């Protein structure tokens, strides 16, 4: 039997859009999926969705994500983290405790990480025992986070390095009806990096990661091609921010984040209305209703 899967892209603070979409799903008790996969902030967003805790991700992004304890350029200049993802993960669990029983009894959550020794994506099923390690690893952005999480026999960095949009992995695991929440408008394509020399220098201790970053745009755009032109036996539904989505990777202004969250709420509601036939939107009216037959 073919499966339904939910895939959520990362994108740091741009994840506020997915937080809104997932909260709209929770409001309508919409969860027809057999499993979920997220990369980086996408995996973090899925925690609140699967634990059935609306606004948890919103609170983490707007309250903790804007804190100097998380994002601190001055600390980075002095040799510390630019983005302290371990602090964010641990503090999130303290201030906004997860309903672990609900999370662990729900459908599986797989979080993408990047193995620093191979540059290949590794997808961990989140469990009670590995939760902290996996969440630190999937969000451990190279250079910005100076530690390298090590567990389960290897060491890892941000999952988005190897697989920003794990839609092909969802297909490989048997999903033939895949819903993807993006953090960029549908028109976006990732430009190729012109700073490989700088990455090689800054990541001299992790040359495989530097090489993987060099080819990241190719993999990202290949995932978009898969979404736009899926195999004949698959359907891909896309929920993407509108063209005027104002949130950037490191946006911290509360009003901007609030706007991005509301766009996610609206996009999720429009997507569900479209699926249920309550209202039929054209692509020009509703990017979130984009679905390939």
Say whether 158 is catalytic. Answer: yes
Structure tokens given for 261: 């969250």
Residue 246: partners with Cβ closer than 8 Å, 6 or more residues away? 256, 259, 260
CA 45-240-156 angle, 5° bins: 40
Residue 176 phi/psi, 5° resolution?
-125, -5
Q: Alpha-carbon distance 81 to 75, whole Å?
A: 6
Q: Annotated catalytic, 163?
A: no
Q: Which of 40, 92, 183, 251 is catalytic?
A: 40
**If you search the block for the tokens 């549908």, which residue do you land on?**
186
| Placement of tokens 């040359």 in the chain | 207
Query: Looking at 158, 164, 183, 251, which residue is catalytic?
Result: 158
Provide long-range contacts, Cβ within 8 A and 24+ apart, for 104-107. Answer: 104/128, 106/31, 106/50, 106/51, 106/52, 107/31, 107/33, 107/34, 107/35, 107/36, 107/50
Numbers of helices and strands, H then E, in the chain: 13, 8
Catalytic positions are: 40, 158
């Amino acid at each position: 039997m073919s499966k339904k899967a939910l895939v959520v892209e990362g994108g740091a603070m741009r994840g506020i859009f997915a937080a809104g979409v997932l909260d709209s799903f929770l409001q309508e008790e919409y969860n027809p999926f057999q499993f979920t996969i997220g990369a980086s902030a996408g995996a973090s967003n899925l925690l609140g969705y699967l634990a059935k805790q609306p606004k948890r991700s919103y609170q983490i992004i707007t309250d903790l994500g804007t804190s100097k304890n998380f994002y601190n350029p001055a600390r980075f200049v002095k040799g510390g983290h630019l983005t302290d993802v371990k602090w964010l993960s641990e503090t999130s669990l303290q201030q906004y405790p997860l309903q672990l029983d609900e999370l662990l009894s729900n459908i599986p959550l797989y979080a993408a990480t990047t193995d620093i020794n191979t540059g290949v994506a590794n997808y961990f099923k989140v469990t009670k025992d590995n939760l902290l390690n996996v969440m630190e690893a999937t969000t451990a952005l190279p250079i910005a986070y100076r530690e390298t999480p090590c567990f389960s026999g290897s060491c890892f960095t941000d999952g988005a390095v190897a697989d920003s949009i794990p839609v092909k992995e969802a297909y490989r695991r048997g999903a033939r009806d895949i819903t993807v929440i993006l953090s960029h408008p549908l028109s976006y394509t990732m430009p190729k990096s012109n700073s490989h020399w700088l990455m090689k220098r800054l990541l001299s201790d992790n040359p495989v990661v530097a090489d993987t970053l060099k080819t990241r745009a190719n993999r990202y755009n290949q995932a978009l091609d898969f979404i736009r032109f899926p195999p004949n036996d698959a359907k891909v539904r896309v929920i993407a921010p509108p063209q005027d989505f104002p949130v950037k990777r490191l946006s911290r202004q509360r009003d901007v984040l609030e706007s991005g969250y509301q766009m996610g709420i609206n996009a999720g509601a429009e997507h569900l209305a479209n699926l249920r036939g309550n209202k039929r939107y054209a692509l020009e009216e509703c990017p979130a209703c984009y679905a390939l037959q």
